[in-house]
Amino acid sequence: MTYILIHNPACSTSRKGLALLRERGVEVTERKYMNASGHLSEPELRDIAEKLGNVSPRDFSRPKNIIAEGLDPQMSDDELFAAMAENPKFIQRPILIKDDKAVLGRPIEKLLDLI
C-alpha cells in the first residue's frame, strides 16, 4: 500500500505524526510541501479536499497564518485554494493520503484511522 504524508519537517506535530506511523510499521512517501519542489498546486489541494470528504479548504488551513499575512480569513473557497497554493504556510499538516482517502493528523492519532 502506498501512503503519502503531506509533511513539514520543521513542525513538531508533523514530525510526531511521521514517527507514529513509522512506529506502526507504515512506510510513507514524504511530500515536503514547504520545499519549492514539493509545493502543492491548486488542483492537488482540491483533490486533497475531496479525499478528506469533500471539505472546504478551511478544514485544513491555518487561519492564524492567513490573518498574519493580512489576508481576509472570510475569503471564498476558490480564493483560499489559490492562496494555499501560493503560500504553503497556510496548509495544516500532517495529512496522510492513501488512494482516494485522506486524513488530517490533528491530533496525530487520527492518522491511524487511515491504516
- CA max distance for the chain: 42
From the candidates 4, 6, 10, 11, which is the catalytic residue?
11
Q: Please, are residues 90 and 57 in contact by the beta-carbon 8 Å criterion? A: no
111 is catalytic: no
Percentages (nearest 5) of helix, strand, coil residues in the chain: 50, 15, 35
Catalytic machinery residues: 11
